[in-house]
Amino acid sequence: MSLTLLFAAGPGTSEEYHAPLSEALRAAGLEARIVTEAAPEDVDYILYAPASPLQDFSPYTRTKAVLSLWAGVERIVTNPTLTQPLARMVDPSLTRGMVEYVCGHVLRYHLGMDAHIQAAPGDWRPVEPPLAPERLVGVMGLGALGRACAEALRDSGFAVSGWAANPKEIAGVTCHHGPEGMQSLLQGTEILVTLLPHTQATESILNAGTLATLPRGACLINPGRGALIDDDALLAALENGQIGHATLDVFRTEPLPADHPYWHHPRVTVTPHIAATTRAASASRSLAENIARVEAGLPLLHEVPRVRGY
């Protein structure tokens, strides 16, 4: 029997996915039609991104699962009409992209590359950084993306610490948890990477108090969520030198408004939410695998616990 997959995402997304998803479904032994419109009672699965106008899930009584095209699910998980199981996107290519972004910017800060890039012609000023084992890098958030980044930084030789809400163990990474653990992580971090989900508990987790706990001149890389940062507090910390530089990929409002102070600050690098994009080919394989599991009576992969919210 053919399955009906409702593609509920932004304009153009379904066209991008149609061919690779069709191929992945066939490879998984599934017969399915991919549509952008269907009667709710006919829909077996919803493939969802927050740009979709779909906000009321209550008519979709037959739907077996909602599969997010994004790693972040905070914009859907609290929807009171969503009673179907929800799975977040975990995709090897997305993870690889995040690892490359984080490692690239950590190395940039570690080596002091901005000083060379911005140097005036004729300004021959060698910078001798410490070696990687002497550089203290902290990763806030040790889920799939944070763990992968922490492990890659460890494998590059950096002294890596991590923090999560609950205890974690990663070989070669000093792991902290809880409020006291956060204090310890921040006090010993020269380059901080934030990869936490956005929840009530993590809203503005980087604020005047936590930023002041970092060593003076520390650098910040945020490819996680814009709402993790109190923007006013970060701008103040940049102005007074507490934070030496910030590389920001995510923001409370996207696209970042043209008049936002981040665009014009000399110690801020803005990137347009490029750290970990969902790539249609590999994401399609992940979607097909999850659908095949449900059809075989197996548990959904990467199901989001509603109480936790991520």
> For residue 1, is pLDDT > 90?
no
- Give mean pLDDT, residues 208-231: 99
- Give mean pLDDT, residues 43-61: 96
In whole angstroms, give the CA distance from residue 66 to residue 86: 5
Confidence class for position 28, pLDDT limits 50, 70, 90 = very high
Confidence class for position 18, pLDDT limits 50, 70, 90 = very high
| Annotated catalytic residue, options 154, 225, 245, 285 | 225
| Annotated catalytic residue, options 33, 252, 260, 273 | 273
Average pLDDT, the chain: 97
Whether 285 is a known active-site residue: answer no
Whether 18 is a known active-site residue: answer no
| Contacts of residue 301, Cβ cutoff 8 Å, sequence gap at least 6 | 87, 90, 289, 290, 293
pLDDT tens per residue across span 109-123? 999 999 999 999 999
Domains of the chain: 3-91+278-295 (3.40.50.720), 92-270 (3.40.50.720)
Residue recorded with tokens 């039609």? 33
Confidence class for position 306, pLDDT limits 50, 70, 90 = confident
Query: Percent of the chain at pLDDT above 90?
Result: 94
Handedness of CA 294, 297, 299, 301 (dihedral sign): negative
pLDDT score, position 94: 95
> For residue 33, is pLDDT > 90?
yes
Residue 114 corresponds to which tokens in the numbers above?
């901005």
In whole angstroms, give the CA distance from residue 308 to residue 195: 16
